[in-house]
Structure 1
Amino acid sequence: MNRKSYLIAFVLMIVIGILSSCAQKNEENEKAEQLAFLDVKIQTEEKIELNKETEIACLVTYGKEKVTDADEVKFEIWKNGEEDHEMLLGEHRGEGKYSVKKTFTEPGTYSIVAHVTARSMHNMPKKEITVDGNETAHSENSSNDKNEHQGEHHGHHHSNVMIALQNEQTYQLNTDTALIANIQLNGQPLSEAQVKFEVWKENAEKHEFIDAKEEGNGEYKAVKKFTEAGIYFVKIHVQKGDIHEHQVEKIVVQ
C-alpha cells in the first residue's frame, strides 16, 4: 500500500470516528428526551386565611428544565361538595412558576387542580386546602346534606380522581361535536371505567345521558350534535368499582 492509500485510510478512520461519536451523542440525547416528563407541583399553603388575597401557584418542569413557555396553565378551584368550579388562567412569574390571585370568602375544604399543557404533554395534579373560619364545620355539614338530597349524584368520592373536559372556547351548532374527558387516578390514566356525559341546556329540565367510549390513556369520548345555541352544562360521570365521581363544566354553543 502506497503513501496515498495510507493517507486515504487514515482520513476514513477519522471520519468514521466522528460519525460514530455524533451518532452516540444523538442516541444519548434521544434517551434523555424520552426519560424527561412534564412535572407540575402545586405551591400553595394547605391552610388559607379567610378573606385574604392568596397566591395559588405551581412550578412546571420538564426533566431538569424549568418550563417558561407553557402552552396553557389553568387553575380549577371548587369547594368540596359543591358543583360550581372556577377556572382561572395562570400567568408566568418567572423560573417556571405560574400563579393567580384568589380570595376565599367562605370557609371550608377546597380542591385545586392545575391544568398544564406544555411540550405536547398534559399534567393536572390536585391538592386540597383548608380555608380557616368559625363556620367551617357548619359549611361542610351543609354541603354533605346537599349531596344526600341529590339522590343519583351522591356517591363515593375519591380525592385522587381528576376529571378534565377538553373544553373548546365555543361549540358549533348542528355539527357532530366530540366531548372528550381526560380522567386520572393518583396521577395515572384511569382505564376501563364507565363514563357518561350528562348534557343539558341552561334552565332546561331535560337532561341527556350519552355513553362515552374509551380511547386509551385515560381519554373518554362521546359525540353530541347541538341543535340549539346557548349555554349548556356537561356533567361527567365516572364509575369504576367503588369509585363514583362527577364533575360539571359549562360550555357555549354558537
Structure 2
Amino acid sequence: MKKRLWPIMIGLFVLVLAACGKTGNEVEEVKEDDLPKSIDAELEVQETANVGEAVPFKVTVTQGDEKVADADEVEFEIWEEENKEDSEMIKSKNNKDGTYEAEKSFDTDGVYIVQVHVTARGLHTMPKKTVTVGEGTADEEGDHDHGEHAEHSEHDQHDGDDHGEHQHAEGFSMHFMEPKNIEAGKKIELMAHLELENKPMEAARVRFEIWNDGSDKHEFVDAKESQAGEYTGHYEFKESGKYKVQVHVENDEGLHEHEEHEIEVK
C-alpha cells in the first residue's frame, strides 16, 4: 500500500513546486508594471525678444501619455548668462490642462537663461532654454566656454570666498529646494535636485555646508540620494538668525560644483 502512495505523493510535490514558480513570475510582472513613469517637461520660450517686450514662458508637463495638471510646484528661474547668482524666480499659472505659464519683460540687452523647475508626483525635472534680448551680449562668442571657465574658477577660488562668482559647468544644473518657515531647535530636510545633460545626475557625492552668517564655524551634512537626481539630508539649527547653506557636488568624472544660498531661521 505504501509503495502505491509514493508515486502519487511525488506527483503532488512536483505540482506544488510548479505552482510556486508561476506565482513568483506573476509577482515580478506586477512589480515591473507598478514602476512610476518619469515626468517630462516640454519648455517653450521664444529665441529672441525686444527690450521691454513681455516674453511668455510655457511648459507642458506629462507622465507617459497623461497630462499632469496637479504638479506640486512649477517655477521659472531666469538669469542673465554668466550671472546666475542674481537669478529671479517666477511662479507659474496652472492652466489645469497640463500646461503652466508665466511671462517677464527684460529691461536690457543680453542673453538670458530660462529654466523651469517642475516638481510633480514625487519626481523633479528642470529643462532650460536661452532667449536673446535686443542686441544680446557684446561678445557672444566668448560666452560659450562655460565648462572651461567653471573648471578654472573652481581651482582659482578658496572655499568660503567669492562663491557667488562660480559658474556651473556646461550641462550641469542644480536646484536647491529652499526650506520655508524654519524654526530653531527643529530638524528640517535639506534637498537639492541635480541634472547633467538634461538627465537626473545619479551617484553624485553631495554635502551641505552650513554656517551662521558672520561665523567661522562650518558644519557639514552628507546627503543621500533618495531617488534619481534627488539628494537629501537633515539638520537642526540651534539658534535663530541668518545662515549660509552651500551645496557641494562631486562625481567620479572630476566634476566639482558648489552653489551658495542664504536662509533665515526664526
Please tell me whether residue 151 in structure 1 is matched to residue 157 in structure 2: yes
2:220 corresponds, among 210, 222, 243, to 210
- How many residue pairs match? The answer is 222
| TM-score of the aligned structures, taking structure 2 as reference length | 0.68
The equivalent of 2:134 in structure 1 is: 132
Unaligned runs of 5+ in 1: 1-26
SS across alignment from 2:202: coil
Please tell me whether residue 115 in structure 1 is matched to residue 126 in structure 2: no
1:222 corresponds, among 233, 236, 259, to 233
Kindly state the Cα deviation for residue 44 of structure 1 after the two structures are TM-superposed: 0.4
Change (3 A) 1:232 1:104: farther
Change (3 A) 1:186 1:66: same
The equivalent of 1:247 in structure 2 is: 259
Unaligned runs of 5+ in 2: 1-28
What CA deviation, in whole Å up to 9, does each residue of 1:122-151 have, x standing for no partner?
Answer: 22222233333365439969x98xx95972
SS across alignment from 1:43: strand
Change (3 A) 1:211 1:227: closer
Kindly state the Cα deviation for residue 39 of structure 1 after the two structures are TM-superposed: 1.1
The letter for the 1-side match of 2:229 is G
Contact 1:157-1:244 at 8 Å conserved across structures = no
Change (3 A) 1:116 1:205: same
Alpha-carbon separation, structure 1, partners of 2:113 and 2:87: 10
Contact 1:210-1:222 at 8 Å conserved across structures = no
Contact 1:107-1:136 at 8 Å conserved across structures = no
The letter for the 2-side match of 1:108 is G
Contact 1:233-1:248 at 8 Å conserved across structures = yes
| TM-score of the aligned structures, taking structure 1 as reference length | 0.70
Change (3 A) 1:247 1:148: closer
The letter for the 2-side match of 1:100 is A
The equivalent of 1:66 in structure 2 is: 67
1:4-15 correspondence to structure 2 within 5 Å? none
Kindly state the Cα deviation for residue 58 of structure 1 after the two structures are TM-superposed: 0.8
Kindly state the Cα deviation for residue 230 of structure 1 after the two structures are TM-superposed: 3.4
Q: What is the RMSD computed on CA atoms of the aligned residues?
A: 3.5
Alpha-carbon separation, structure 1, partners of 2:208 and 2:36: 35
Please tell me whether residue 178 in structure 1 is matched to residue 196 in structure 2: no
Contact 1:177-1:224 at 8 Å conserved across structures = yes
Contact 2:117-2:125 at 8 Å conserved across structures = yes
Change (3 A) 1:136 1:90: farther
Change (3 A) 1:175 1:95: closer
Please tell me whether residue 234 in structure 1 is matched to residue 240 in structure 2: no
The equivalent of 2:208 in structure 1 is: 197
Kindly state the Cα deviation for residue 155 of structure 1 after the two structures are TM-superposed: 6.4
The equivalent of 2:23 in structure 1 is: none
The letter for the 1-side match of 2:204 is A
Alpha-carbon separation, structure 2, partners of 1:115 and 1:49: 25
Alpha-carbon separation, structure 1, partners of 2:177 and 2:254: 25
